[in-house]
Structure 1
Amino acid sequence: MKESTVDVILHPVRMRIIQQLINQQLTAQQLKELLPDIPQASLYRNIKKLAEACVIHIVDEIPIRGTVEKVYSIQDPKKASISPEELNNLSKDEHMSLFIKFLANLMGEYDRYLKNEENIDLFADGVTFRQTSLFLDDEEFQQFAQELREVYIKYAEKKLDKGRRRRTVATIIIPGETDQ
């Protein structure tokens, strides 16, 4: 049975591979160095699954000592995300499962941060999580969402470079009750 795009993307290891490939071209070896806690066999199996699903692509092949090292990238960011049509076709139980996988991925990121930092300094590291309620009509919400997209786009184009650290930023928007 073929996995849905949602299942392919939301696998915890595959989500981490996708995150590393955003705006980057990396070999499996480079991915292994960036994701040292993932066993090599598991990493290669999940890279293959993402490539078969056309979420990631081979953008170059480098001959090395009689073998070929493949360079992977996300050529079409839409393929590495879940379309509105796919989301609309999910049942309530499938939506909850998707949300749980999303939260599990965030918890994994936070756990890796806590394990890898010798001296935790949430403020200096820029760690933050908070929840707030906004009271917006539909037009104000659309404006807010558009401005948020623009901020994400502006900073998502930056590539890993000296002095830059990958930071995970997650947004969850849950509407409250509809006014009666």
Structure 2
Amino acid sequence: MATADLLLHPVRLRILRALLDGRDRTTSDLRGDLPDIAPATLYRHVALLAEAGVLTVVAEQRVRGAVERTYRLPHGSAEVDDDALAAMTPADHRRAFTAFVAGLLADFDRYLDRDDVDPRQDGVGYRQAALWLTDAELDALLAEVRTAVAARLHNPPVPGRVRRLLSTVLMPAGGPPGDDPADGAAG
């Protein structure tokens, strides 16, 4: 598994997002997907991800005397494991969440900068719902969401399919335990 430090760099996050659709890409392909990243920077960060085992080299070919590699993002390789997650400090989580939100904002800005923006037609949404759940109900909800997403995760790109990003945030609301009147512990 990768470390949070490796994955949470803004450029590496964008590279990983570009590869989330399961298609293999060369660094040249990624340059087309991420034209605002300087080529040397892109090559350096792709190499770091490959050296760490986050990206897999699936092909190599000679192009004008240089070796061009084709990369794949294997399912699960860009996830921080439970032990690393548990070892993160609140400051680490704050930094990770900030990187996540910054990437989300950048993705949304790129969407809004297109000429053909139609949020309703495109199924764009951002909502927040407050749910009262026991730990068991939360586990059941998460299992349902994982099942629903997993059933569609490996859909190949075909005519009529649009690559869509699904981003989730789940956290307890309110203050510390006991502050919520529903807990029965407060006034």
Q: TM-score, normalised by structure 1?
A: 0.89
Count of aligned positions: 175
Q: Which residue of 2 aligns with 1:121?
A: 118
One-letter amino acid of the structure 1 residue matched with residue 63 of structure 2? I
Q: Which residue of 2 aligns with 1:35?
A: 34
Identity %: 35
Structure 2 CA distance for aligned equivalents of residues 55 and 114 of structure 1: 30
Shift of 1:153: 0.9
Q: SS at 2:76's partner residue?
A: helix
| Unpaired segments ≥5 residues, structure 2 | 178-182
Shift of 1:156: 1.4
Which of the residues 133, 137, 140 maps onto 1:136? 133
Residue-by-residue CA offset, 1:50-103 (whole Å, 9 max, x unaligned)? 11211112111122343321010123x332111111111011111111111111
One-letter amino acid of the structure 1 residue matched with residue 157 of structure 2? L
Q: SS at 1:51's partner residue?
A: helix
Q: Which residue of 2 aligns with 1:105?
A: 103
Q: Which residue of 1 aligns with 2:3?
A: 5
Aligned 8 A contact 1:21 1:73 in 2: yes
Structure 2 CA distance for aligned equivalents of residues 101 and 31 of structure 1: 20
Q: Which residue of 2 aligns with 1:15?
A: 13
CA RMSD of superposed structures (Å): 1.7
Q: Which residue of 2 aligns with 1:78?
A: 76
C-alpha spacing 1:66/1:119, structure 2 compared with 1 (3 Å): closer
Q: Which residue of 2 aligns with 1:95?
A: 93
Q: TM-score, normalised by structure 2?
A: 0.86
Higher CA-based Rg: 2
Structure 1 CA distance for aligned equivalents of residues 105 and 79 of structure 2: 20
One-letter amino acid of the structure 1 residue matched with residue 117 of structure 2? I
